[in-house]
Structure 1
Amino acid sequence: MLYHLLYSLHTTFSALNVFRYITFRSIGATVTAFLLVVWLGPRFIRWLQARQIGQVVRSDGPSSHFSKQGVPTMGGVLILAAMVVSTLLWADLTSGLIWLLLGICIFFGMIGSIDDLRKIRKQNTRGLSARGKLVLQMAGASMVGLYILLHPEYDGTLSLPFIKNFHPDLGWWYVPFAVMVIVGASNAVNLTDGLDGLAAGPVVISGGVYLIFSYVAGNAVVASYLQIPYVQGAGEVAIFCGTIVGACLGFLWFNAYPAEIFMGDVGSLALGGTLGAVSIIIKQEFLLAIVGGIFVLEALSVILQVGYFKISGGKRIFLMAPFHHHFEKKGWQEPKVVVRFWIISIILGLIALATLKLR
């Protein structure tokens, strides 16, 4: 909105020419989303408390988590609202990619909000059924697949980190692949959201890395030089990634240990789904497995735990899954687990950025 209102006046006021630059608008979107969350956070927390919208803690979890019962949840509503408002203010609203990402963000947020509200209403950890949630997630992710089908500039080729001249073409199979990436990312972030600040931190790092990759992918000259796929209009995606970074940084202001609010499924499902959608749109699908390595490990720990439990007749690999709880069971304090996972995320983010040159 600001782009359309102010840039059109740049011939009269030359200073407004700055709105043409994606770098400036990305910074503006990041700061705006951050300030919105920090400003609205205390009011939103009080509103949730007044309506008793609080966290429901699993009875078989670590005993240290029992004190979290009743802490305001569904903070993801605040994150998504800040992202949407900031995107509308700073992005080029003629971009189809922006509206696609907003649609994915809102749709996955709605799935998460239904799940959260059912848990709160029933006062247990069971919300939507696993099958029902998966069907809804696949339906939402199909929006990206449909977009790819309708736009000839996209194809089924894959871009692999560290590999320059190998681009396998999945053809029509790329669409279910895209759905799998988006749904997998959504659930992986959801599984990671189990400790104060644990999910928000890696999301900030992942969003920052994809901001850089989106900007590069949208510049034909730079993309050619770095030998990554050029995607027309991907520069605007960098602005959307900036809102992810800013909103989650603002949320960490209140979500850091001891948390005053949790993002709930409305936040984790939406953030994971949008990160997956960004990776598909800018053709950096496998990069998500690197920069979002913490999310991948958390999801794998649950898959391995459940699988081994079934085939071994009740034995476990981890003391508890997702595996951040394993370290709690081993005696690590919650802040130590979170900060160490953040450190790993930063290292993985740097490795992901290194793939720009190591090909």
Structure 2
Amino acid sequence: MLYYLFDYLDKLDFPGAGMFQFVMFRSAMAAIFALLIGVFFGKKLIMKLQKKQIGETIRDLDLEGQYSKRGTPTMGGIIIILSILFSMLLFGKLENIYIIIMLVSTVWLGTLGFADDYIKVFKKDKEGLEGKFKIIAQVGLGLIVGLTIYFSPEIVVRENTEIRIDNVIEDVTYKSEDVKTTSTTIPFVKNNNFDYRWLVSWLGDYADEAVWVVFVLIVILIVTAVSNSANLTDGLDGLASGSSAIIGVALGILAYVSGRVDFASYLNIMYIPGSDELMVFASAFVGACVGFLWYNAYPAQVFMGDTGSLTIGGIIGVFAVLIHKELLLPILCGVFFVEALSVIGQVTYFKYTKKKYGTGRRIFKMTPLHHHFQKPGDGSIDAIIQKPKTPITEPKLVTRFWLIGILLAVLAVATLKMR
């Protein structure tokens, strides 16, 4: 709303009103405002949650400090969601199609997570919302995002073309017209655009239609996978919120350079008109995560619950798809990715060994992976990997995961020049 107010004032030559035309200025304001909302609104929400005795039910995992977390308020993801929404309403360009998609995704997954937490807390059902309903909702959002990208005339790109002399890139130019594309950026290779059409090229004349079906399915897979991976990562104080803030910074940078033809040309990536506005959303997202971290850092005063974890994962997945950088997610979201793989690997190996030997065996002492490091490696748990021998304290473990996340975020951005 402030964007439109100051846009009107700028037309009247009001001093300083033109600042709101700059994405960088509004991004900074969005981050600060979201952080302040999280800090000030979060305190009041936590008090209300405590009064209503909306506490987390802690499973008996035999972990150090586990029982001290009993009764800690949950559903704190509301803080993140409201911080993002209020900040974007003030500083975002709300008619931008990319912002519309991100706001819809935030509300959609926030509602899904809230329903799951509501059943757990108020209905006293530890299982929460049935898994099939979660998947249906996540698939539904993937369909909405994928089909909007296909049908919306505002979602277009200008693909980069290299001018080479003696096999050396001398310049990067862009086609004059905006086009619909199923291409995406692929890291570590010289020709850094990968078109999903290659997957269905064997269909000949039908490939142009079939590739969009494949693209929508990939969007569904990404939204579902990243959302659930973030949900699995939310097991230690500050782990998911801190990791998400780091990822949000990298995504904001990628959105900004993709939406600026000069930076896109320098980095030799496709130019996406209007995507620089996504930096405002990314800034609000980072500010909201940091504001929530104010209370979620060890020892946590509030947990985000599925209200927050499903939402932040979905936001990251949708954001990456919109800027055609989804193939960077295994690097950028490496912490989430490994956490999810640890669970998948543990369950698969346990079922396989139980079927083959009659007794299930484990790869890790406990999954998701962060719990593995909290268990002693004294052989009391039958697992292939016993290290570390001594459990790592929660604050140190979370900090190390953050540091790994920072390194992966830097690497993900650096891949644009590492070819």
Smaller-chain TM-score bracket: over 0.9
Once the 2 structures are TM-superposed, how far is the Cα of residue 40 of structure 1 from its aligned partner?
1.0
Are 2:43 and 1:2 equivalent residues in the alignment? no
CA distance in structure 1 between the aligned counterparts of 2:57 and 2:269, rounded to whole angstroms:
44
Q: What is the TM-score of this pair, normalised by structure 2?
A: 0.83
CA distance in structure 2 between the aligned counterparts of 1:148 and 1:95, rounded to whole angstroms:
13
Q: Secondary structure at the match of 2:9?
A: coil
Once the 2 structures are TM-superposed, how far is the Cα of residue 66 of structure 1 from its aligned partner?
2.1
What amino acid does structure 1 have at the position aligned with 2:70? Q
Are 2:361 and 1:315 equivalent residues in the alignment? yes
Matches within 5 A, 1:298-309: 298-309=339-350
Aligned to 2:65: 64
Aligned to 2:233: 192
Once the 2 structures are TM-superposed, how far is the Cα of residue 28 of structure 1 from its aligned partner?
0.5
Once the 2 structures are TM-superposed, how far is the Cα of residue 64 of structure 1 from its aligned partner?
2.7
Judge conservation of contact 2:366–2:372 (CA < 8 Å) in 1.
yes
Once the 2 structures are TM-superposed, how far is the Cα of residue 52 of structure 1 from its aligned partner?
1.1
Q: What is the TM-score of this pair, normalised by structure 1?
A: 0.97
Once the 2 structures are TM-superposed, how far is the Cα of residue 41 of structure 1 from its aligned partner?
1.4
Q: Secondary structure at the match of 1:254?
A: helix
Once the 2 structures are TM-superposed, how far is the Cα of residue 224 of structure 1 from its aligned partner?
2.0
Are 2:367 and 1:326 equivalent residues in the alignment? no
Judge conservation of contact 2:112–2:307 (CA < 8 Å) in 1.
yes
Aligned to 1:278: 319
CA distance in structure 2 between the aligned counterparts of 1:114 and 1:104, rounded to whole angstroms:
15
Aligned to 1:165: 191
CA distance in structure 1 between the aligned counterparts of 2:59 and 2:142, rounded to whole angstroms:
29
Aligned to 2:132: 131
Gaps of at least 5 residues in structure 1 are: none
CA distance in structure 2 between the aligned counterparts of 1:56 and 1:159, rounded to whole angstroms:
42
Judge conservation of contact 2:234–2:309 (CA < 8 Å) in 1.
yes
Choose which of 391, 395, 406 in structure 2 pairs with 1:335. 395
Judge conservation of contact 2:64–2:374 (CA < 8 Å) in 1.
no
Aligned to 2:37: 36
Aligned to 2:300: 259
Greater alpha carbon shift after TM alignment, 301-310 vs 285-294: 285-294
Structure with greater proportional helix content: 1
CA distance in structure 1 between the aligned counterparts of 2:60 and 2:82, rounded to whole angstroms:
32
What amino acid does structure 2 have at the position aligned with 1:340? R
CA RMSD for the aligned pairs? 1.3
Judge conservation of contact 1:57–1:125 (CA < 8 Å) in 2.
no
Are 2:53 and 1:27 equivalent residues in the alignment? no
Are 2:243 and 1:202 equivalent residues in the alignment? yes
Are 2:328 and 1:287 equivalent residues in the alignment? yes
Once the 2 structures are TM-superposed, how far is the Cα of residue 293 of structure 1 from its aligned partner?
0.5
CA deviation digits over 1:54-112, x for unaligned, max 9? 11112345253122121001110011001001011101111111111000011001111
Aligned to 2:113: 112
Greater alpha carbon shift after TM alignment, 282-291 vs 116-125: 116-125
Judge conservation of contact 1:58–1:125 (CA < 8 Å) in 2.
no
Identical-residue share of aligned pairs (%):
43
CA distance in structure 2 between the aligned counterparts of 1:118 and 1:165, rounded to whole angstroms:
49
Aligned to 1:177: 218
Gaps of at least 5 residues in structure 2 are: 157-179, 197-210, 355-359, 377-390
Aligned to 2:162: none
Aligned to 2:258: 217
Cα distance, 1:51–1:200 mapped onto 2, change above 3 Å: same
Once the 2 structures are TM-superposed, how far is the Cα of residue 114 of structure 1 from its aligned partner?
0.8
Structure with greater proportional strand content: 2
Aligned residues: 359
Q: Secondary structure at the match of 2:218?
A: helix
Judge conservation of contact 1:291–1:349 (CA < 8 Å) in 2.
yes
What amino acid does structure 2 have at the position aligned with 1:227? N
User: Which of the pair has more CA radius of gyration?
Assistant: 2
CA distance in structure 2 between the aligned counterparts of 1:115 and 1:229, rounded to whole angstroms:
39
